[in-house]
Chains A and B, each alone.
Chain A
């Protein structure tokens, strides 16, 4: 890596940590396991998780300064943070991923007779409330970023904690809905009430489940960010993780905006 950034030098402090390497090995082993079998896959996932946890622990213990200062993607040419650019590229892949999930489900729906009407099986008011919670969490997230951009650590902590809590509430309500639908209303992966096609339940759980998994990842990232904020790990000069976690969180909200409309309202 040739870029030293404007003030960043390796001498500013040792930030060597073995854990990203461990996580990388774990991912490689996991990919091998996708071919060779569950044991190897499981081992790979385990090593990957250990690597990520070790990395987070290292970061929490000695919060890293921006190693290279503000890292431009291409100094003088691409005047955007390299990490932010990479995050946006990741979000572009996520757009493609959710397009496949939602688009595929829609294609199945169009070809299926016996679909349920809006609100016939699903609880639209409760989910509408849940949608509201997620929108509020986007507000608290961006306010958290605005706070640390001003150097207000106290408000950063408050807003990060609020965002985390709202995400947890969203997941709880989803879990409650799932339990009620699956065990009481008869909406399973292979059956639906009122003579509705089983494809309804199958696509419902696929779309909302995949989204829920993404929200879970976001909540875990927020837990880490909140913990780091309370340890004084973010400053006015160094808080890029707050922005990038925020980008991911807003994206998850955007996906839900479309999902809620397509799955619950139409």
Chain B
């Protein structure tokens, strides 16, 4: 059975899974000790959310293989995220 090239690439390329794990563990450790950054509360919240987004992006790109899939595939989860944008806009409009 002839497999498409992207699947062949899965098997032959070396994937940096352990390095990604290292980054995830390090960021998690930082999140748990975010106090050492000495940030004001609002900045700290923003920093934590950015760290969460970074971790999520690493998992999506490398573990869920989005980095190696056809470019347009990422539009599908981003379609779901579009709802996040709508919700945030609606909540902010409602004064939240």
Question: Is residue A103 contacting chain B, with contact meaning CB distance below 8 A?
Answer: yes
**How many residues of chain B have a CB within 8 Å of chain A?**
45
Bound-complex Cα distance A80 to B7 (A) = 9
Mask, A226-266, CB within 8 Å of B = 1, is: 00000000001100000000110011011001101110011
B91 near A150: Cβ-Cβ < 8 Å: no
A125 near B63: Cβ-Cβ < 8 Å: no
Bound-complex Cα distance A123 to B1 (A) = 52
Interface SS of A by simple majority: helix
Instruction: Report chain B residues within 8 Å CB of A17.
Output: none
CB distance from A256 to the nearest CB of B (A): 10
Bound-complex Cα distance A136 to B18 (A) = 10
Q: A138-B63, A261-B48 are in contact. Are A96 and B80 (CB under 8 A)?
A: yes
B28 near A131: Cβ-Cβ < 8 Å: yes
Mask, B13-35, CB within 8 Å of A = 1, is: 00101101100110010011010
Question: Is residue A14 contacting chain B, with contact meaning CB distance below 8 A?
Answer: no
**8 Å CB contact of A91 from B4, B31, B56, B77:** B77
How many cross-chain pairs have Cβ atoms below 8 Å apart between A and B? 125
CB distance from B95 to the nearest CB of A (A): 9
CB distance from B70 to the nearest CB of A (A): 6
Bound-complex Cα distance A110 to B77 (A) = 27
B64 near A247: Cβ-Cβ < 8 Å: yes
Q: A142-B63, A254-B59 are in contact. Are A95 and B81 (CB under 8 A)?
A: yes
Bound-complex Cα distance A239 to B79 (A) = 28
Instruction: Report chain A residues within 8 Å CB of B80.
Output: 91-96, 99
Instruction: Report chain B residues within 8 Å CB of A262.
Output: 52
Question: Is residue A124 contacting chain B, with contact meaning CB distance below 8 A?
Answer: yes
**Residues 16-68 of B contacting A (Cβ, < 8 Å):** 17-18, 20-21, 24-25, 28, 31-32, 34, 45, 48-49, 51-52, 55-56, 59-60, 62-64
**8 Å CB contact of A95 from B20, B32, B70, B77:** B77
Mask, A60-99, CB within 8 Å of B = 1, is: 0000001001101000000110000100110111111001
Bound-complex Cα distance A70 to B3 (A) = 7
CB distance from B96 to the nearest CB of A (A): 5
A141 near B63: Cβ-Cβ < 8 Å: yes
A146 near B17: Cβ-Cβ < 8 Å: yes
A124 near B91: Cβ-Cβ < 8 Å: no
Closest to A128 in B: B32
**Residues 62-96 of B contacting A (Cβ, < 8 Å):** 62-64, 69-70, 73, 76-77, 79-81, 83-84, 87-88, 91, 96
Instruction: Report chain A residues within 8 Å CB of B59.
Output: 138, 250, 253-254, 257
**A binding-site residues for B, Cβ under 8 Å:** 5-8, 66, 69-70, 72, 79-80, 85, 88-89, 91-96, 99-100, 103, 106-107, 110-111, 124-125, 128, 131-132, 135-136, 138-139, 141-143, 146, 149-150, 236-237, 246-247, 250-251, 253-254, 257-258, 260-262, 265-266
Beyond known contacts A79-B4, A150-B11: 10 more, CB 8 A cutoff: A7-B1, A80-B73, A91-B77, A95-B77, A100-B87, A103-B87, A124-B32, A135-B28, A250-B63, A261-B48
